[in-house]
Amino acid sequence: MQAVSIGPLVFAGDRLAAIVGIGVFMVATSIMSSRLDPRIGRWSTWALIGGFAAARLGHVIGNATSFTAEPWRILAVWQGGFSWPWAAGSVAAVSVVLLRTRRTAIGAVVSLAIALFAWNVVWQLTNATPSTPMPDVVLENIKGGDTPLTSFSGKPVVLNLWASWCPPCRREMPMMAEMAASRPEVTFLFVNQGERRAAIESFLSGQTLTLPNVLLDPRQEVARHYAMPGLPVTLFLGPDGKLRSLHVGEISREALMSAISRLLAQ
């Protein structure tokens, strides 16, 4: 279960774990600040700001070639992409500067330990990936005719669930089309959820997108099969058709490349 639905909101498991961890950290440091030393509150603020900025910077530097081509994506933090060793280094530096006494250090360490424990619990509960087999459904191909989804097994598959009304789907689609054209060792499937052929064709022609294997899933059978509560979702299937991993929400170029590399290595 790598997606969690809370009312109208859908969270990827790793992002929900991060949100919970940060929330618990803020509560814990607030309590420690009021009971032990107010300086713990100042430390927590700068630790969060510095850690977040350093984590993003580390990711950008580690993928400099990709970001040089698309510098605007440096600010696209909603796509994910953070280097946690860089975050740890930043938090350590802030701690050296601001935690001057044993009392403040103890409060900070206890708060951080509680937050990491909360993050780990949510992570463990939400990030198990069952090896779900590919659904045995027959979908209409936008080029005409019906196509059994299982006919694509035998080769690693990247299966994208999308819709033209979904803004994150629209944003990631040009990059997905480029990756599909450049990675022949992987089969890309673009399974539209719930839309009519005319709407799909209008979107693709309007965006001048050329996608391989665009399939229509008007009853959203594939999304129900994998228990996906929202869009977009990108699933990574092994040659045997079984699910290896998935990404909930808009996917970045770096995350897609990394997931494909892991899929090919398995």
Sign of CA dihedral 159, 163, 166, 167: positive
Residue 254 pLDDT level (bands cut at 50, 70, 90): very high
Q: Give the model's pLDDT for residue 257.
A: 93
Q: Give the model's pLDDT for residue 6.
A: 61
Euclidean distance between CA atoms 65 and 71, whole angstroms: 10
Euclidean distance between CA atoms 226 and 221, whole angstroms: 9
What does the DSSP 8-state code read for residue 151? G
Contact 32, 107 (CB under 8 A): yes
CA 256 to chain CA centroid, Å, is: 9
Report pTM: 0.84
Q: Give the model's pLDDT for residue 4.
A: 67
Q: Domain 138-265: which CATH class?
A: alpha beta
Residue 3 pLDDT level (bands cut at 50, 70, 90): low
| pLDDT over 80 at 1, yes or no | no
Task: Domain ranges for the chain, please list them.
Answer: 3-126, 138-265
Q: Give the model's pLDDT for residue 12.
A: 75
17-31, 116-130, 165-179, 217-231: range with lowest mean pLDDT: 116-130
Which two three-digit tokens encode residue 201?
């064709």
* Mean pLDDT (whole number) for 174-194: 95
pLDDT digits (tens, 9 = 90+) for 29-39: 999 999 999 99
* Mean pLDDT (whole number) for 162-172: 94
CA dihedral 49, 54, 55, 59 (to 10 degrees): 150
| pLDDT over 60 at 48, yes or no | yes
pLDDT digits (tens, 9 = 90+) for 13-27: 788 888 999 999 999
Which two three-digit tokens encode residue 183?
């990675």
pLDDT digits (tens, 9 = 90+) for 85-125: 999 999 999 999 999 889 899 999 999 999 999 999 988 88
What does the DSSP 8-state code read for residue 186? S
Q: Give the model's pLDDT for residue 2.
A: 64
Calculate the average pLDDT of the chain. Answer: 91
| pLDDT over 90 at 173, yes or no | yes
* Mean pLDDT (whole number) for 206-229: 92
